[in-house]
Each structure stands twice: as C-alpha cells, then as structure tokens.
Copies of this chain bind each other. A is one copy, B any other.
Amino acid sequence: MSEEKTKRTDVNSLGEFGLIDHLTRMAVPNNPSTIKGVGDDAAVIDNGDKVTVVSTDLLVEGIHFDMMYTPLKHLGYKAIVVNLSDIYAMNAVPKQITVSIAISNRFSVEALEELYEGIYTACKQYKVDLVGGDTTSSLKGLFISVTAIGEGEKEKITYRNTAKIGDLICITGNLGAAYLGLQLLEREKQIYLENPNIQPDLEDQQYLMERQLKPEARKDMIEMFAKNQLVPTSMIDISDGLSSEIYHICKQSGVGAVIEESGVPIHPDAQMMALQFQLDPVTCALSGGEDYELLFTIDPNDVEKVKYLPDIYIAGEIVDKKEGVKLHTKGGNIHDLPAQGWVHFDPNK
C-alpha cells in the first residue's frame, strides 16, 4: 500500500558521519534560543542567565552491547555515563536525564529492576535526577534511549569548532583499554560457545573489563577546570577513538594537528593485552573507542595550569589546516591520521 521510490541507496554507503550529515543538513536553527544545534557533543540552548545543554544516545542490543557478557546493571550504568560524558565534554554539568526503553517479552520485571539499579547507581554517582522517559515493547531485543540535560555558563561552554593554531592538545586518563576489554570479552565468549564447560578466567583483567563494561565520565576533570579557572579552547569526549575525535575538532575548527605518539597515554594492562592479541597498542588507543576520556585544546598561556594537574597529558599541537592531521611516531616518522570512526559490527552484512 505504501509507495516505494525507485532509487535505492544503501545507508552503509554513506558511513555513520556521512549519513548524519546528510540527514541533518536541513537542520538550520531558527529559534533565537538555539545557540548550538546539530554537530557537537551536545546542543546548547540559551535560557537567559545560563545555558541548557542537551545530549542524546540510542543503544541497541546486538549493535552496542552483547547481552551474553554485559550484566544488566552495568549496562544501565554505562547507558547513563556515555550521555553524561557528552555533557561534560561541553564543560557543563549534567543535572537531569530521561530514559526510554523498548523491551521484548524475553525480559522479566526482575531483569528490568537490575537495569534500573545500574541507572540509579549512575544517577547517585553523578548527582543527576531521572525525570522522565517511556517504556514500551519491542518485537526483538533491548533498546535504551537516554537524553541528558545539563547546565553551563555561556562563556565557559567548550565547542568543537574553536581550536586555534598553536593550541596544545590534551588527553585525560588513558586510551585503548576499553577496546581491549571488548576483545577479551569477545574471545572468552567464543571459547565459551565452543565449550560451555570452560569457564572464563578474567580475574587478572579487572581493569580492562571495567573500562569496557563500566566506564566513568570525567566529572572530576570538569570540576578541576572550574577550580583552576581553566577554560579549554575546544573539547570533545573520546567515544570513537582519538583519531576520529581529533579529526572532528580539526574539521570543525578549520585547523590541522600533530599528535605525538609518545604523548598518547596507554595503561600498562592495555599495553600487555594488545601484545597478547598481536595488536599495536597505539592503534588501539587511536581507533579503539569507548574510553570516554576527554580530548581538549588549551591556549599555550594556560600550559602552567595543566602541567601539574594529575591525569592530563599534553599530546600535541594544533597547526595550520594545510598541514593536515598527523601522527609523529616515537621512531621519528610522520603519518597521516585516518579519520576513522568506530565501526559497529553489523551482523546483517
């Protein structure tokens, strides 16, 4: 009964960022209160004194998480944290969340209670209020849609498009561990599927597992910035890997970047596990994703403020656009950094 247009372009042909760009090209804000629309970690809405910051994510079973090794409590926690991370990446403070879920009848009330236990634990940890949502059925699988709402000061909100040549590039925490945690869980899943009598032994890999299953957002960094009166010149959270994020900042700011391989922080456990998997630890850090650390740039005059702060690493410099986005290796070579997003496994392909 419904008509089909004749032309058919596969959605995968555009890529995730291409598809979003394509569909949102008409989303030009008209309301004066819309300070920032599509294209950053979160939207920014003027409300007089302060600004309201809004971010949203949709998590899909089989795409973003595998119920076989994801405890529901951790899933609930992570679903919230990844959204809060977007609000912090605007240098704002999340205050409220809404959570909508679609569930198949495979889920029991007890399973949902576990999921919500994780959600409430995150709310408590990050001092946000659950203020709304929707609960509905799905024909198959679990879907979680979270919207986070935060508060910020207009002149302190940090965007992706405001990095300047000469700014220093900073990274919090360490990168690649969440990706290696995922590899580990996938490996154990395969072993278990082949022989259910072999129980996984993941005791020694607590750190990598937690980075994947129960990540934290860098609330502490935003608080430290405020305390030290530091306002980054640009900021983004590292959800898709450093390469992808620095590319977003460079593209939107109209600049280039040089990243020093020696400045990319990698946890010793991630180093070790990468070698076990015969992977390059730096590639894991650059392209792995799901670390939820912060990538930000600072004015060189602020370097003293950053230098002595814990868990912040200066990893490069913003340069002219025509120099591109490069990696300066420990061996002294210079490579192009690929603009590579996190590619979700697609079982239909």
Contact = CB atoms under 8 A, between A and B. Distances in A.
A63 B140 CA distance: 11
Contacts of A109: 9-11, 13-14, 19, 22
Contacts of A23: 112-113, 116, 135
Interface string A29-69: 11101101110001101011110101111111111100111
Given A26-B120, A109-B13, A112-B11, A131 B38 contact: yes
A96 B31 contact: yes
Contact of A11 (B45, B68, B105, B192): B105
A64 B349 contact: no
Contacts of A129: 27, 29-31, 34, 37
A57 B138 contact: no
Given A47-B52, A105-B12, A63 B149 contact: no
A136 B344 contact: yes
A107 B348 CA distance: 12
Given A1-B189, A108-B9, A134-B57, A102 B143 contact: yes
Contacts of A56: 98, 100, 132-134, 145, 147
A192 B2 CA distance: 12
Interface centre among A57, A71, A129 (most CB of B within 10 A): A129
Given A27-B131, A48-B50, 6 more contacts: A10-B105, A13-B109, A37-B96, A45-B95, A48-B48, A102-B143
Interface of A: 1-3, 5, 7-14, 16, 19-20, 22-24, 26-27, 29-31, 33-34, 36-38, 42-43, 45, 47-50, 52, 54-64, 67-72, 95-96, 98, 100-105, 107-114, 116, 120, 127-141, 143, 145, 147, 149, 151, 188-189, 192, 200, 344, 346-349
A22 B108 CA distance: 13
Contact of A200 (B1, B60, B108, B136): B1
Contacts of A60: 102, 136-139, 143
Contacts of A14: 109
6 contacts: A22-B109, A23-B113, A26-B120, A31-B129, A37-B96, A139-B348
Nearest to A348: B105
Nearest to A8: B108
B138 A63 contact: yes
A291 B114 CA distance: 35
Nearest to A19: B135
Contacts of A12: 105
